[in-house]
Structure 1
Amino acid sequence: MNKNLFISILSLLILLNSSHISNGQIIDNDQAHSSIKWRQINTENFRLIFPNMLESAAKKLAKQLPKMQRESRENLKVSPPKITLVLQGNHLTPNGFVQLAPRKSELFPVPSSTADNQEWLSNLALHELRHVAQFDKLTGKLKAPFFEQLAFALYGLNLPAWYFEGDAVQVETMYSEGGRGRLPSWEMPMRANILSGKSYDFNKYVLGSFKDNVPSYYTIGFFMSSYLTNHHGIASHEKILTDMRGKLLRPFNFQRAVKLVSGEKPAEIFDSTILELTKKWKQESPISPDDPNLPAKNSRYPSDYLLPQMDGSQEIYVLKYAPTAVNEITRLDSLGNETGVVKTGIQITPYFHLRNKEIVWDEYRKHARFGKQTYNVINIYNTETGRTKTLTKASRYYSPAFHPFRDEIVVVEVNPANISRLIILDSKNGNILDSVAVPDGMHMQQPKYHPSGEKVVAIAVTEQGTNLVEFNLITKDFDLVLPWGNQQLERPFYYHDDIIFKAHNDGIDNIYLFNKTTGQHKLTDAAFGAFNPSIATNGWLLYNDYQHNGYKLAQKKIVLSTIEQPKPFRFPYASPTLDKVQKDSLSNESTSSIVVKNYNPSTHAINFHSLSISGSNFESFDNYIPGIFWLSNDILNTTQVKLGYEFDPDIAKSHYSAEVAYKRYFPTFTARYMNRGMVGNAVSGNDPNNIIMFDYRDHHAIFEMSIPLSVYRRNIVYSYGFNFGTSYTKRYNTSLQLQNFQDVIAFPLNYQVYINRNSMRSKMDLAPRWGQNFSVTFRHRPFTTGSSGEVLSLRTNFYFPGLWTNHSLQLRFAAQKNNGIYLGTYDIPMVSGWGHFNSPIVHNTAMANYRLPLFYPDWSIGSLAYIKRFQGLLFSDFQNVDESLTPKSFGIGLSADLNVFRYVLPDINVSTRLTYVNDNTASSKIIPTFGFSYSY
């Protein structure tokens, strides 16, 4: 069945992420480490599951959850049934999601070095609980054990992602003193676009762009949700969902409901929102903003020159982000000429620190097997020797900063109990030299040394909000610098005995100086935002000035303002809504009422939740057979059970199946049983041309074991592993009496070993710039008499940079050797057009292709489709290269990357190829083919 028949379903089954960077996925495939001892808090309205080390943080959250549940659902007039929340305390990515099938929410509670205006976990939980309320308001009648996947599908089909995420951001802002809706930095990319004359349409703000700076759909969703509630009241969301819930199969259900409640279609609300934002932001713009940008290389696409720092030779080091290349620490001379220094890997927060000839930064890593066991390590690079050293392993360290003159580095550690402290490391070997405890409930961010090396300034985040705090490293005492508030403070450092930092006191992010005697002084007056300050060798302020095309370099003389700072004048766009909110006056639950018990994943392994038409979680529809499956997944994603029935219309036969997959420990195991109706053919008598068909059934049992491993090392991803499989087949009920019919195939053995090394891709890369991939497979039948044989195959794949930026050259070679029952079986990829010519036995194949981006149109075809990119392809295939180096086929291809119906996921690629078959036996020399693929 063609994949495009399933677009409407596939685009729905996504996880709802609450990160500042949205990521979607169709199913949660990762596990926590098998060594974790799990605990639970079980109440009438929720079950909270967490690692035993996280008990204190879990109790604190459990006290807050009843109040959060009331706030998240109150204005939707819904009372969701009990929900399971999992705290993944060993996963450092600041994120979270809610899903149905099975119904749960996972929260990644570890606070990072990313600046915010309030505590991380409580804000995350409030956001995700809003999604729970949305689910239950719209599709809550469809429940386990049969209909959770259907509920999830109907939810995604009816509600666009910009709406349900924008509504959740609005709720996190309404019922807290912080939230992204109050952050100038969060709205800044959109504000810069509008005030810089960059008029983008609805599709572009929802679906993004390769070539332009467009914030995620969370941003436009928040503003459009705020427009609704500003003009039509907080109850407008409840009215929309109430009108939709009984009409989930009605065409354009969401558009009709919005029109009924507001009198406008979503596209018209977008236009009205943009008009209001344009008027508001123009009125609030600084009268005479700074224009201090330094010379920089002209770039066709937006680029960021983050965290500028100057060395003794007056060269500037930056962390460069661009859509055409992976992140790299880059050196700029006085004319703006750029030289790459060292590529960084994945970072939770962009960061590095320079001292003389050394650069230090933190980097995200993962356990090779368990994807929810992650780390943050410290790397150090020497610009003279060109050597990079990873100082720590399996650590949870953030924001390293050099000591002014000693071989020491200060970092923030967040331990498995979610408790912060300052750590002093030896910069030569990563050993811990000292530590400084911080007050209970305080999370530290972005520390920097005093020039004397005796003090450290950092950002403090607690229930009270945010502040700057100084720690005396000798006495271990601390002092608060500012009054508590909900400022998004960033990058504090000492300037003599004063402190320079970023804040948004007047509603725009700017750089400030704090003097203990005279107070705060505003150093910049940015049009859109000023960030990441440091001091140049001439004593001037060096920083980032945000523009519509990225974070640019700026320099300004430090002049202390003498005028008293005005009160905030840039109020959030959602202020009319925020002013109407009546916050829950009830207090949090009492600690004494919280009971903690052990949680045993094995006793909760079976959890049937959905009937599904796909046995592969909608990951592939190649050779699809219609069927129905009953699915079970445990809450911790370690055990999956599938019971299925399929009917193959091509042969009019039914299949029954049962499968168990267990992924809790280092190897993963899969056992599958199938009872299949089959059709075979045989030669009648001595006449090879007399072929007769016959029916039979079989019992087919499969056992598989896998060890899938992958790790990150800077900008390189390594994946490697081992797979083993065997099966047992018993055939019966043949429709004919057959001679030499083999009714038992006992335990054929399959082995695979693979190792891959690929560079990470930039936003515009079509393939890894460098990649080496090897796979060896061996299959044989040692236990079956009369039908023995074996096949050994090697598959390789290599990637190289093309002639121009983001072009890619791919070379592939594969070979196999087979005998016995495996003659005529191919475990290697065949050439394009194979099957259209008379081919000899194939021993090896090779392929070369060249892929290139053609252009990035950002074309909107109404709400039907939005095309982001066109790609071109040149390819050539070779067969049995030991006999001939003449291409067996070659051709050209064209493809387009697009989204349909304003669905954020899946990302779709449609393609067409013309293949020329270079063989005299070809039935047709030119073969057109069409392709369709999707990704999440």
Structure 2
Amino acid sequence: MRTLIPKYFFILFILLYISINIQAQFINYGSDPTRFKWNIVRTQHYQLVYPQGIDSTARRYAILLETAYPHIGKTIGTPPQKTFPVILHPANMLSNGMVAWAPKRMEFITTPHSDLYAQSWNKQLVIHESRHVFQTDKLTRKIFKPLYYALGEQVAGVAGLAVPKWFFEGDAVTTETALSNSGRGRLPEFNMVYRAQILSGKSYTFDKWFLGSYKDYTGNFYTLGYDLTAYARYQYGADIWDKVTDRYTRHIYLVPPFSRSLKHYTGIGTKGLFNQTFSFLKHEWEIQDSLRLTKGDKHKPVYLSPETKQYTSYQYPQIVNDSTIIAVKSSLQDIHSLVIIQNGNEKRLSYIGNINSRIILKNNRVYWTEYVPGIRWTHENYSVIKYYDLNAKRIITLTPHRRYLSPSVEFSGKVIAVSHTSESGVNQIVWIDTDSGKEMDRYNIPDNTFIKDMTFGEDSSVIAVMLGDNGIQIQQLNKQTKLWKELLKPTYVNITAPVWRNGQLFFESGLNGTNNIYCLNTETLQCQQLTAARFGDFSPALSTDGQKLFYSDYQHQNMDGKALYLPQHLLSAVGIIRVKIFF
């Protein structure tokens, strides 16, 4: 008997180490901090689960979900028949939204992204992710419905196996564009990669555009999907994807089922739709390209970054002197790094992390904000201020464990202004001491709008690009009186990367259908276009004397740093217009 006991312990010990994990969820997006106590709000079609303390945020999402509900399904078919769970994650800074089945739910990360266009973050999430719910619910019907009794909610995975990713995301982007005044379909830079490649004479196959390449930059399936799904709606009717998905669920045995279902209603399959779409876009882009504003050679900008044989991006140029800039470099083979470029020669300063802002050079320090994961919880992370010290040649974290976005450094270099969004959804501007990293002051924002970008103006005022329900506007905060002054009324055209100098506000925008650099006189409120990019100009920066403009210019192989002298290059006075979209 004594000899059997050690054997039992040995067998038990072995079994413990060969055990198999059993998960309650097929897709687990992570856990929230245990300090959260959870509440539930039930509406007619949704069940919202959220932490205590963000009740106003939850109510806002509940209203938006119910408001959007009758419109989301008009072009995809019958809406879901049961209430749908929605989980809110307020402690996560990595702005995103997800839809999953088994168990089915939507998950919203409620903190807005600092690079957001002229669409409030909660509306963006509601429209885009709700469309995914309607898509998946539609696909689990007809021939797949009996499988539910055998597989449960896993049937959604089976039903979606033969549906391409470009459809899911492209249709959702088309919906967010059609049901709003903004949406990614209206952003010139969203289609910039395709436009640059096609107008430069490079034409890839459908498979290369969709599957990607290790050699050439091919964008992503969000853009490809938007072009295909939007063109199909434009050419064959708004309900074309309702018909295609319905036939797909009834004729899954056809090979390939999705392309064959598309061909039944349009006469062309997936690759035929690709050829038609890009033929149409090429024609429209060639017309647009022929009308592009140009200037003589004497005003031609100078390229500062070195020539490369592979796709390379040089973003957020900051000026050391007339022949030297610091920029963020990335490529298909390399992660983000800080580089210094002098007379065409490049030197890496340091690799950097998951950056989420422009870089700002002041007093031999290069500042930025970047995402930093939490130690324990997936849905608790941070956005902190870091800087690279050009003298010490190292990166220093100025504000650990904070929720700061969109930094701007005051002219003396002693103060940083940042955008701060609390877990409960309160937006403020925070003053930070550049030496200690401590908070000096906080300023409330009119109507609790989100600050997506900012710059310091005259007398240490802050000029902020603000995002609210009516789009983007520009306002100026007087530090002494804490009063706001409107510089630009709300518009649904994207505006970002502001830089102030001598009464002039320089910024990047797609006002004329292509991203260019503009200048707004903060006294007369007159706006002028400074560049005439073929594909897109971004991230303006000014020399010390204010006479030279530096920016990033997109070409079909690179995003290069460029410079031009300002006085002779004011192209035209412009107004705020609505960007044309082709479908």
TM-score, reference length from structure 2: 0.90
Aligned residues: 547
Which residue is 1:318 aligned to? 327
Residue identity opposite 1:195 in structure 2: L
Q: Please tell me whether the aligned partners of residues 202 and 270 of structure 1 are also in contact (alpha carbons under 8 angstroms).
A: yes
State the secondary structure of the residue aligned to 1:87. strand
Cα separation, 2, equivalents of 1:442 and 1:518 = 22
- Summarize the alignment of residues 644-793 of structure 1 with structure 2, pairs less than 5 Å apart: none
Alignment match of 2:444 (pick from 426, 437, 444): 437
Measured in 1, the distance between the counterparts of 2:332 and 2:571 equals: 42
3-state SS, counterpart of residue 376 of structure 1: strand
1:77: how far off? 2.4
CA-to-aligned-CA distance 1:885-918 (integer Å, 9 cap, x gap): xxxxxxxxxxxxxxxxxxxxxxxxxxxxxxxxxx
3-state SS in 1 of match to 2:562: strand
The one-character-per-residue Cα deviations of 1:539-568 (angstroms, maximum 9, x if unpaired) are 211111111123211111224647443785
Q: Is the 8 A contact 2:427 2:444 kept in 1?
A: yes
- Is it true that 1:187 corresponds to 2:191 in the alignment? yes
Measure, in 1, the Cα distance between the counterparts of 2:576 and 2:357: 31
Residue aligning to 2:582: 573
Task: Please give the alpha-carbon distance, in whole angstroms, between the structure 2 residues aligned to 1:47 and 1:197.
Answer: 51
Taking a change above 3 Å as real, the CA distance of residues 346 and 507 of structure 1, as seen in their structure-2 partners, is same
Q: What amino acid sits opposite 1:119 in the alignment? A: S
The residue identity in structure 2 corresponding to 1:70 is: P
Q: Is 1:463 matched with 2:469?
A: yes
Post-superposition offset of 1:129: 0.6
Residue segments in structure 2 that go unaligned for 5+ positions in a row = 1-24
User: AA paired with 2:489?
Assistant: P
Match of 1:167 among 150, 171, 184: 171
For 1:370, the aligned partner's letter is W
Q: 1:540-559 alignment to 2 at 5 Å?
A: 540-559=548-567
Q: 2:581 & 2:346 partners in 1: Cα distance?
A: 38
Match of 2:260 in 1: 256
Aligned residue identity for 2:379:
K
Q: Is the 8 A contact 1:115 1:490 kept in 2?
A: no
Find the aligned partners of 1:375 and 1:406 in 2 and give their Cα distance. 24
Query: Equivalents in 2 of 1:69, 1:293: separation in Å?
Result: 51
In the alignment, is the contact (CA less than 8 A) between 1:360 and 1:379 conserved in 2?
Answer: yes
Corresponding residue of 2:518: 512
CA distance in 2, matches of 1:313, 1:192: 29
Call closer, same or farther: CA 1:564–1:433 in 2, change over 3 Å: closer
Q: Structure 2 matches for 1:195-234, cutoff 5 A?
A: 195-234=199-238
Q: Could you tell me which residue of structure 2 aligns to residue 384 of structure 1?
A: 391
In structure 1, what is the equivalent of residue 73 of structure 2?
Answer: 73
Report the counterpart of residue 33 of structure 1 in structure 2: 33
Deviations 1:367-409 (A, max 9, x none): 1221111110111221011232211122100122221114211
Given that 2:357 and 2:407 are in contact with CA atoms closer than 8 Å, whether structure 1 keeps it comes out as: no
Q: How does 1:82-161 map to 2 (within 5 A)?
A: 82-140=83-141, 141=145, 147-161=151-165
- The equivalent of 2:10 in structure 1 is none
The answer as to whether partners of 1:443 and 1:461 remain within 8 angstroms in 2 is yes
| Residue 46 (structure 2) aligns with | 46
> Given residue 565 of structure 1, which amino acid in structure 2 is its aligned partner?
V
Which residue, out of 408, 423, 426, partners 2:430?
A: 423
Secondary structure of the structure 2 residue equivalent to 1:240: helix
Q: 1:369 is matched with which residue: 370, 376, 380?
A: 376
Q: Using the alignment, how far apart are the partners of 1:313 and 1:523 within structure 2? A: 19
Offset, 1:127: 0.6
2:309 alignment counterpart: 300
- Measured at CA, do residues 544 and 563 of structure 1 come closer, stay the same or move farther in structure 2, by a change above 3 Å? closer
Where in structure 1 are there 5+ consecutive unaligned residues?
1-24, 575-936
Secondary structure of the corresponding residue to residue 481 of structure 2: coil
1:411 maps to which of 404, 410, 418:
418
Instruction: Name the CA shift for 1:146/1:88 in 2 (closer, same or farther; >3 Å).
Output: farther
Contact 2:305/2:314, CA 8 A, preserved across alignment: no
Q: Which has the higher helix share?
A: 2
Tell me what 1:686 maps to.
none
Equivalence for 2:180: 176
Q: What residue identity is the alignment partner of 2:342? A: D
Match of 2:13 in 1: none
Does structure 2 conserve the Cα–Cα contact (< 8 Å) formed by 1:533 and 1:543? yes
Q: Which amino acid aligns with 2:346?
A: E
- 1:118 and 1:85 map into 2 onto residues whose CA distance is 21
- Could you tell me which amino acid in structure 2 is paired with residue 328 of structure 1? S
Q: 1:438 to 1:520 in 2, by over 3 A?
A: same
Change (3 A) 1:554 1:313: closer
In the alignment, which residue of structure 2 is the partner of 1:482? 488
**1:502 and 1:511 in contact (8 A); partners too:** yes
Q: Tell me, in whole angstroms, the C-alpha distance in 2 between the residues paired with 1:410 and 1:308.
A: 20
Deviations 1:313-355 (A, max 9, x none): 7420001111222211110102x101111221112x3521101
- State the Cα distance separating 1:135 from its structure 2 match: 1.1
Structure 1 letter corresponding to 2:554: Y
Q: Which amino acid aligns with 1:281?
A: W
Is the Cα contact below 8 Å between 2:541 and 2:551 reproduced in 1? yes
Q: Could you say which residue in structure 1 is the equivalent of 2:359?
A: 352
**Conserved in 2, the CA contact under 8 Å of 1:154 and 1:248?**
no
User: 2-side partners of 1:386 and 1:533: how far apart?
Assistant: 25
Say which SS state the counterpart of residue 505 (structure 1) adopts. coil
Alpha-carbon distance in structure 1 between the residues aligned to 2:391 and 2:432: 22
| Counterpart-to-counterpart distance in 1, 2:31 and 2:431 | 32
Q: Distance in 1 between matches of 2:368 and 2:556?
A: 27
In structure 1, distance between residues paired with 2:33 and 2:71: 34
Query: What CA distance in whole angstroms lies between the structure 2 residues aligned with 1:430 and 1:568?
Result: 41
> Shift of the alpha carbon at 1:464?
0.7
Mapped to 2, the partners of 1:402 and 1:142 lie a distance apart of 61
Which secondary structure state, in structure 2, belongs to the residue aligned with residue 31 of structure 1? coil
Secondary structure of the structure 1 residue equivalent to 2:303: coil
SS in 1 for 2:196: helix
| CA distance, structure 2, for counterparts of residue 144 and residue 55 of structure 1 | 35
Q: Which residue of 1 aligns with 2:15?
A: none
Deviation at 1:146, TM superposition (A): 5.2
Q: Could you tell me which residue of structure 2 aligns to residue 610 of structure 1?
A: none
Paired AA for residue 267 in structure 2: G
CA drift of 1:234 comes to 0.4
The 1:525/1:562 distance shift into structure 2, 3 A limit, reads closer
> Cα–Cα, structure 1 residues 431 and 572, in superposed 2: closer, same or farther, change >3 Å?
same
Residues 405-414 or 225-234, more deviating: 405-414
1:444-485 C-alpha deviation (Å, 9 max, x unpaired)? 022211253x20112100001111111111111111211211
- Which residue pairs with 2:64 in the alignment? 64
Aligned match of 2:4: none
